[in-house]
Structure 1
Amino acid sequence: MSTTTLELDVTDLARHIQSTGLRNRWYGICPTELIGDGPIGVVRLGERLVVWRDRDGQYHVQEDYCPHRAAPLSIAKHLGDRLACRYHGVEVDGSGTVVSVPGMPGCALEGRQALKTYPSIVLRDALFAWFGDELHPEPAPFVPSTRLTSEEYDAFLCYVEYGTPYQFMIENNLDPMHGSYLHADSHSMSEGDRAATFSVRGTDNGFVFEKDGQRDTNFDWSEWIDTSMQYIELEIPYPATGGPGGNFGIVSHMTPIDEYTTACFFWRNRKVSGWQRDVWRFLYKNRLEARHWAVLEQDREVAEVMQPVPPGVEHFYQHDLGVTRVRKLLRKEAEQQAGELTDARSARHQARQETAKVAPGSSPAG
């Protein structure tokens, strides 16, 4: 394998990783309420998956292929603790082990762990799975936002899918200034200056992008956080009619479905307790939620008609520091992952070549 071929391979692989999602991260799969009594099929990071809940309430995320003939398990029969492929009845459990081959009991396929199974976890009404590459199959500790783990916060999950690349939706949430224009008629984003300058402040796991001299007036800041899960935190001030609890927080998490489609998880949260939590929940469901959906549809109108463009077409100015910074971080990580994978694959290829060589002094088989 030549150096030129390796360079082409690593470049193409880096582009693929960046467009379908960095590996070695936890990603949201779907709201748990979408997983009923039978399996469902989804695509995440370009991979076909079957998602199901067993009779004990445990969730499973696996490749959507029967180990026998690759028929989709998303149309399988649910047998409580396993799925039975509708094509030939092969039964697979939550660990990916083939537990029964009814057409040939005792065959070599039985007992084999033949189906890729993704480590998964449930948090705040959403199912997450670990997408590790071949060098990192074991999951890193799940480190989500404290706004999702702390009992001090109450949150509602809003799930939506957009026909746009996931990077566009990340950039949308790292672009506070669009709130003063696209969402100018929103009840919570109509205040403050329509012209501003911004600063970037580095953190241990990302950066904060914020308006200079304006806070708690509009969509004034957002924070990119990349641990074992990528997400964005931001706050929008509420008028008194929004009830108790201070600023309205959003935790945004984007999961690529494929190169051109994104599953978006938005947890709308407030730091409330006691009777104030009850009031917040009532107001959200009865008055505020519909307004939030209207904002998301405004984002859709723009995001779904945007297209990736060649370098040099966009002309950035100071408001775009958050966008350019996250693009650089995603590209750098994708290139690093691609380089490590390519080096490992090249080493395996070289080892196979060495093994296949005829030992000195021996003659080729005739």
Structure 2
Amino acid sequence: MDSAVQKYLDRGLQGLWYPVLASWEVQSTPVGITRLGEQIVVWRDSNGQVQALEDRCPHRGARLSLGWNLGDRIACWYHGVEVAGDGVVKDVPAVERCPLIGQRMVLSYPVKEAYGAIFLWFGITANQEPEALVFPEELTDSETYSHFLCTAAWRCNYQYALENVMDPMHGTYLHSTSHSMAQGERKAEMVLDPTSSGFIFRKENQRGVNFDWVELGVSGVYWMRLSIPYQKRFGPGGPFWIVSMVVPEDNDNCRVFFWRIRRVTGWQRDLWRFMYRNRLEKLHWAVLEQDRLLLENLAPDARTYEYLYQHDVGLSRLRRMMQKTAQTQLAERETQHALR
């Protein structure tokens, strides 16, 4: 593959919404983060709405995340320059009639907050309008499903985290001692089924036994959906659903988001949520830690030495999709640059 395409992919595809933080992580104090290699400051204004800017004061380049939240704007700690959520400089208190005032000097990010997470839009070009952000029904149908969001930082490239979920067979081995993935055949034929938004990768002739299938969807955001069968002693609601998303921080770090979901209503919802907090959550974290430990300790430049086989068809399809998207986006950026 072209080195420029791989470099672009390693940093993160653009033209997408990404979850960047859990809602509870952003209060009144500005928060500085790195996502897709970009330094970003996030804060809540006086109405509780999340704002996001490039984390750079236009005056001397100080981090705005070190400054003060003034509601609809942030004041830089260095010299007090005030920048609003749309990137426009509102005041330069140290200077009379400063030409910076009224100018849009800092990149602003479109923001949506949903299902306990904060999403930012990363455009292919600076003026690209955000696409619609569509979620799987297990999140949107709050009457039927109940969920908990967990998020964690992993020291690996985000592509490895995506590919890990796109590999149902690893559950039989890596998670064989878990509370939910000890059953089923240790060999399987794998099948790939296209869908309107992506594809499903599944074990042939085995369903409802282990981690037997996973679905990739692209609907303004890359998401993956799967279900794992649960014994009745783990509470009501049938299979345990997971919707996952990953955001790159930089080439070597990412942030994973997992919504853990059951189909429960009425008193069963209350029972499951109680059981989750008091017993199941620590079991789920133990499984997630197995994934993290494995991925953070892959051999250096692991992809260079891979020998893929039939179980990796889903992973290969995902890579081809992302590579094609990266090529298209790079060409669009080059065209935009040539027109300037």
TM-score (norm 1): 0.90
Tell me what 1:259 maps to: 251
Q: Deviations over 1:112-135 (max 9, x none)?
A: 121111000001111000000216
Q: Which residue of 2 aligns with 1:337?
A: 329
Structure 1: state its 5+ residue gaps: 1-9, 349-366
Conserved? CA contact 2:74–2:83, under 8 Å: yes
Amino acid across the alignment from 1:113: R
The one-letter code matched in structure 2 to 1:117 is S
Q: Is the 8 A contact 2:20 2:117 kept in 1?
A: yes
Q: CA deviation at 1:309?
A: 3.5
For 2:133, the equivalent position in structure 1 comes to: 142
Q: 1:213 to 1:136 in 2, by over 3 A?
A: farther
Equivalent residue number for residue 308 of structure 1: 301
List per-residue Cα deviations over 1:158-197 (Å, max 9, x = no partner): 0001001111011110111110100000110001111111
Match of 2:197 in 1: 205
Change (3 A) 1:18 1:217: same
Letter in 2 for 1:252: S
Of 165-174 and 101-110, more deviation after overlay is shown by 101-110
Following superposition, the deviation at residue 104 of structure 1 comes to: 1.2
**Equivalent-residue separation in structure 1 for 2:49 and 2:336 (angstroms):** 35
- Structure 2 counterparts to residues 57-76 of structure 1, below 5 A: 57-76=48-67
- What percent identity do the matched residue pairs reach? 44
Q: Which amino acid aligns with 1:20?
A: R
8 Å CA contact 2:132–2:219 kept in 1: the answer is no
Q: Which residue does the alignment assign to 1:298?
A: 290
Aligned AA (2:13): L
Kept in 1, the 8 Å contact 2:190–2:201? The answer is yes
Partner AA of 1:308 in structure 2 = D
Equivalent in the alignment of 2:24: 33
Secondary structure of 2:152's counterpart equals strand
| Residue 279 of structure 1 pairs with residue 271 of structure 2 | yes
Residue identity in the other structure for 1:270 = R
Instruction: Give the aligned partner of residue 361 of structure 1.
Output: none
Supply the RMSD in Å over aligned alpha carbons: 1.4
The aligned residue for residue 180 of structure 1 is 172
Larger displacement relative to structure 2 (327-336 or 106-115):
106-115
How far did 1:346 drift? 3.1
Q: Deviations for 1:328-357, whole angstroms, at most 9, x for unmatched residues? A: 111111111112212332344xxxxxxxxx
Please identify the structure whose Cα radius of gyration is greater.
Answer: 1
Query: For residue 262 of structure 2, what is the amino acid of its counterpart?
Result: R
C-alpha distance in 2 between matches for 1:143 and 1:310: 31
Q: 2:312 is matched with which residue?
A: 320
> Does residue 1:222 correspond to 2:214, yes or no?
yes
Matched letter for residue 98 of structure 1: V
So what's the TM-score if we normalise by structure 2?
Answer: 0.96
Aligned to 1:52: 43
Q: Secondary structure at the match of 1:159?
A: strand
Q: Report how far residue 36 of structure 1 moved.
A: 2.4
Q: Unaligned regions of 5+ residues in structure 2, if any?
A: none
SS in 2 for 1:157: strand
8 Å Cα contact 1:246/1:271 also seen in 2: yes
Alignment match, 2:72:
81
Say if 2:122 is the partner of 1:122. Answer: no
Q: Shift of residue 310 of structure 1? A: 5.4
Corresponding residue for residue 23 of structure 1: 14
User: Which residue of 2 is the match for residue 240 of structure 1?
Assistant: 232
**Contact 1:14–1:337 (8 Å) recurs in 2:** no
Match of 1:196 among 188, 192, 197: 188
**Letter aligned with residue 290 of structure 2:** Q
| 2:99 corresponding residue in structure 1 | 108
The answer to whether the 8 A contact 1:62-1:96 is kept is yes
Distance 2:44 2:61 in 1: 21
Give CA-to-partner distance per residue, 1:57-108, whole Å, 9 cap, x none. Answer: 0101110001111110010012222211011111111221111110113221
| Partner SS, residue 13 of structure 2 | coil
Q: For the structure 1 residues 12 and 69, does the alpha-carbon distance in structure 2 shift closer, same or farther, using more than 3 Å as the test?
A: farther
- Aligned residue pairs, count: 338
For residues 272 and 170 of structure 1, the distance between their equivalents in structure 2, rounded to whole angstroms, comes to 28
Q: Residues 26-49 of structure 1, C-alpha deviation per residue, up to 9 Å, x if partnerless?
A: 001100111122101000000000
Deviation (angstroms), 1:15: 2.3
Greater alpha carbon shift after TM alignment, 130-139 vs 270-279? 130-139
1:118 is paired with a residue of what secondary structure?
A: coil
